[in-house]
Amino acid sequence: MSLCLPPSSVAVVLGTRPELVKLAPLIHELGDATRLVHTGQHWDEAMSGRFLRDLGLPRPELLTGVGGRPRAGQIAQSLGQLDAAFAEDRPVAVVVQGDTNATLAGALAANAREIPLVHVEAGLRSHDRAMPEEHNRVMVDHVSDLLCAATEDNAANLRAEALAEERIELTGNTVVEVVRRRLPDEATRAALLAAHGLAPDAYVLATVHRPENTDTAEALGAVLAELDRIARAGTPVLFPMHPRTRAAVERFGLEGLLERLAVTGPVGYGDFLGLARHAALLVSDSGGVQEECTVLGRPLLVVRRSTERPEAVTAGFAALVRPGEELGALAREWLADAPERLARLAATPSPYGDGLASARIAALTAALADQRQELPQAA
Ligand code: UDP
C-alpha cells in the first residue's frame, strides 16, 4: 500500500530500548517517509546501537547532552533541540510511543509547533501517580491528535478522561508483529539455549530495572534473594542485567546474591525473545515483557505494585507480585505446575491484537497528515 508521504516527512521521536522495539514495525511501514530522531536517553551499543542494527532501522538524527540527566533536564534538553530541528525542517506529523521522557519531549515539541501528533500505545493507565511514566502518558495523550489505543480497555481509559472519540482509534499493539517477525527460528533457538546450557521449559528468565525494585537495597535484595532460592532449589535462573540494576547491585553490595544466577549483560532482542520463548517462567518488571509473554505463550510474574497493562493478568498469562516471599511462593507454585500452565497458555490468544497494528497506524498517520495539510496553515 502506498502511503503518499514525502521522504523523511514523518518524525518518529524515541529514546529508549522499548521504543525502538515497538516502533520498528511502524517505521518499516512508513518506509522512506520516516525521519528517525533519537534523543539519546539510552544511547550505547547494548541498549540502542545493537537494536537499531538488529531491527533494521535507519540511522537516526541524534540529540546531544540528554542521557544521564534527571527527568526535567532530559525533557528540556530534548525539547529545545527538537524544536530547533522541527523549525528548520517541519515534519508533516510526529509519532511517539509509550511513556518515556523522549515520548513527552517529542509530544511537546510537536504541540508547540502545531504539528499533528500520533501517540502509539495511548490510554495505558497504572493509576499510580508515584510513577513518572504515568504522568508522561497522561500528558502525551492529552496533546495528541491521533490516539492509537492497543486494546478496548485502553480506549475506555481515554474516554474516561473525556478525550474526543474522533481522536481515538483501536489499532492493536505493534508488539504482536515485532515478536512474530523477530523471534528466531527453531534451529537458532535450539543453538541459543545450548550456548547458555539451558533446556527448554526448565529455566527462569528474569529482568528487573524499575526504580521501585532498584532504588533501595531492601527491594533489590528481596528480588535477588528469591531468584537465588530458585536457583539453589535446582532451576537455572538466567538474569540479563540492565545497566541501572548492575549499578544498584554494586552500590548496595549485593553481589553475593548473584553467585548462583547465570548473569549476563542485556541481550539483543532476537536472543531475548528466543530465551523467553522456552522459559518455564519469566520474572520481570518490564512493560514490554508483559505484552511479549502473551505472544510467546509463557507465564510471567510481574514484580510491581501496579500495572498499566492489566490485559496479560486478566488473560491468565501474568500475576503481580511483591518482591520477596510473595514472588518466591508464586514462582515455586507456577514452576511446579509448569507443564499444564504452558499447555494452557499456548492455546490462549494474545489480548494485544492481530499483528496488523503498525499497518493501521501508518495509514492513519498518513490520513492525519493529509487532512492537516489541506487546512490553511497559521502564518
Ligand atoms: N529486552 C531485550 N534484552 C534484554 C532485556 C529486555 O531485548 O536483555 C527487551 C524486552 O524484550 C522488551 C524491552 O527490551 O521488548 C523492554 O525494555 P525495558 O524493560 O527497558 O522497558 P519497558 O518495557 O519496561 O518500558
Query: Ligand 1 in contact with 280 (CB < 6 A)?
Result: no
pLDDT recorded at residue 118: 99
Given a cut of 80, is residue 376 above it in pLDDT?
no
Q: Is 119 a catalytic residue?
A: no
What letter does residue 94 receive in the DSSP assignment? E
Query: Ligand 1 in contact with 286 (CB < 6 A)?
Result: yes
pLDDT in tens, 16-55: 999 999 999 999 999 999 999 999 998 899 999 999 999 9
pLDDT recorded at residue 2: 72
Q: Which three cell numbers stand for residue 179?
A: 515478536
Sorted by where each begins, the domain ranges of the chain are 10-174+355-374, 185-346
Query: Ligand 1 in contact with 116 (CB < 6 A)?
Result: no
pLDDT in tens, 72-127: 999 999 999 999 999 999 999 999 999 999 999 999 999 999 999 999 999 999 99
| Residue located nearest, by CA, to atom 12 of ligand 1 | 288
Share of the chain above pLDDT 90, in %: 96
pTM, to two decimals: 0.96
Phi, psi of 306 (to 5 degrees): -150, 160
* Consecutive H or E run containing 126: none
Query: Ligand 1 in contact with 126 (CB < 6 A)?
Result: no
**CATH superfamily entry for domain 10-174+355-374:** Glycogen Phosphorylase B; (3.40.50.2000)
Given a cut of 90, is residue 373 above it in pLDDT?
no
| Residue located nearest, by CA, to atom 2 of ligand 1 | 269
CB atoms within 10 A of CB 57: 20
Given a cut of 80, is residue 378 above it in pLDDT?
no
CA–CA separation, 310 and 352 (whole Å): 11
Share of the chain above pLDDT 70, in %: 98
356-371: average pLDDT: 97
pLDDT recorded at residue 1: 57
CA–CA separation, 295 and 33 (whole Å): 29
**Hey, do 10-174+355-374 and 185-346 end up sharing a CATH topology, with the first three levels equal?**
yes
Q: Whats the size of the chain, residue-wise?
A: 379
Q: How confident is the model at residue 379 (pLDDT cuts 50, 70, 90)?
A: very low
pLDDT in tens, 189-243: 999 999 999 999 999 999 999 999 999 999 999 999 999 999 999 999 999 999 9
Closest alpha carbon to 210 in 122, 134, 261:
134
pLDDT recorded at residue 375: 64
260-275: average pLDDT: 97
Contacts of 289 (CB under 8 A, 6+ apart): 207, 276, 282, 300
CA 195–ligand 1 middle distance (angstroms)? 21
Q: How much is the mean pLDDT over the chain?
A: 96
CATH architecture, domain defined by 185-346: 3-Layer(aba) Sandwich (3.40)
Instruction: Spot the catalytic one: 135, 142, 196, 209.
Output: 209
